[in-house]
Structure 1
């Protein structure tokens, strides 16, 4: 499992206090990919529009969101993943706290096979007992690497 290591090595992570609303959180979560030219603003807008239209489909587990749009979507130049952790939960549905998130894995994809392998690797990692809790405790890149090493042995 190299997802966290790849994120740290490529500097595609961010730690934040919180956000006024979920649209600001999605923009911030995607920023490391936008800053590297992997995605454009149009891709971020697409994610936000899709959440507005379809609801918080990006919530994949309690406390975990995976902002993404369609495969090969407009404004995507490479297949990559970034990570963001917030101290305060981001609220997607005020009526449903199970739709709050503090961990964001933003996914951009141009290649279907790599896209699916990233999604599977992320899901397998998140299903490991204690992985989400350990990510919620992370405060910096060193902590992310400790989580990587802890679960790469399993």
Structure 2
């Protein structure tokens, strides 16, 4: 599993729409060969079809699609937006942090979500994600959650 590794993290991306945010976060996975390009398109289509169901917490979106849409390896990328974007979630907009998930099975999906929840359930960690200036800060955050 590739979980928030250096090449999968981008800080302060200048995106202006939910589609662009999903595509940019998804392209981090594509560039590392973890998902196929069609997977990113499937994430965008899922958003258009199902709405912002993956905006699961204030300021946090976890876009994903189905394994058969082109996942090669379980992975999570992280995109911090320079300017928050409204996804249409009445409760949790605007989104500042985007984690694109690629899982090739439901077991992997659960494992990824558990790791992410371990990170994001702590408000202090979310604050650090908002303020970090270098990947080394992400490494120390992740060091605190690995089992």
1-structure distance, mates of 2:81, 2:37: 22
Question: Residue 31 of structure 2 corresponds to which residue in structure 1?
Answer: 35
2:59 to 56, 60, 63: 63
1-structure distance, mates of 2:113, 2:91: 24
1:4-43 superposed matches below 5 A: 6-9=3-6, 11-43=7-39
Question: Residue 142 of structure 2 corresponds to which residue in structure 1?
Answer: 148
RMSD in angstroms over aligned alpha carbons?
A: 2.3
In the alignment of these two chains, the number of paired residues is: 147
Shift of 1:110: 0.7
Q: Which runs of 4+ in 1 moved over 4 A?
A: none
Does the 8 A contact of 1:18 with 1:90 survive in 2? no
Q: Deviations over 1:17-75 (max 9, x none)?
A: 431211111111111210011111211111111111111111011011101012x2322
Aligned pair in 2 of structure 1 residues 83, 148: CA closer, same or farther (>3 Å)? same
Does the 8 A contact of 1:85 with 1:104 survive in 2? yes
1-structure distance, mates of 2:17, 2:74: 27
1:4-153 superposed matches below 5 A: 6-9=3-6, 11-70=7-66, 72-93=67-88, 96=90, 98-149=92-143, 151-152=144-145
**TM-score under structure 2 length normalisation:** 0.87
Shift of 1:105: 1.0
Structure 2: segments with no counterpart, 5+ residues: none
Aligned pair in 2 of structure 1 residues 16, 46: CA closer, same or farther (>3 Å)? same
Does the 8 A contact of 1:81 with 1:105 survive in 2? yes
**TM-score under structure 1 length normalisation:** 0.84
Q: Which has the higher contact order (CA 8 A, sep 6+)?
A: 1
